[in-house]
Amino acid sequence: FRRELCRARTFGFMRDVKKLWACGRALGASLDNTVAVGEDRIMNPEGLRFKDEFARHKALDAVGDLSLAGAPILGAFRSVRGGHKLNSMMLHALFAAKSAWDVVETATARPRNREVVGHADIGFGIPQPAFAPQKA
Residue 131 burial (CB count, 10 A): 14
| Alpha-carbon dihedral angle through residues 126, 82, 59, 50, given to the nearest 10 degrees | -170
Contact predicate 53/11, CB 8 Å: yes
Q: What is the distance between the alpha carbons of residues 35 and 53, in angstroms, rounded to a whole number?
A: 9
Residue 8 burial (CB count, 10 A): 21
What backbone phi and psi angles, to 5 degrees, belong to 121?
-85, 110
* 84 in active site: yes
Q: Closest by alpha carbon to 133, among 113, 107, 103, 119?
A: 113
Could you list the active site residues? 84
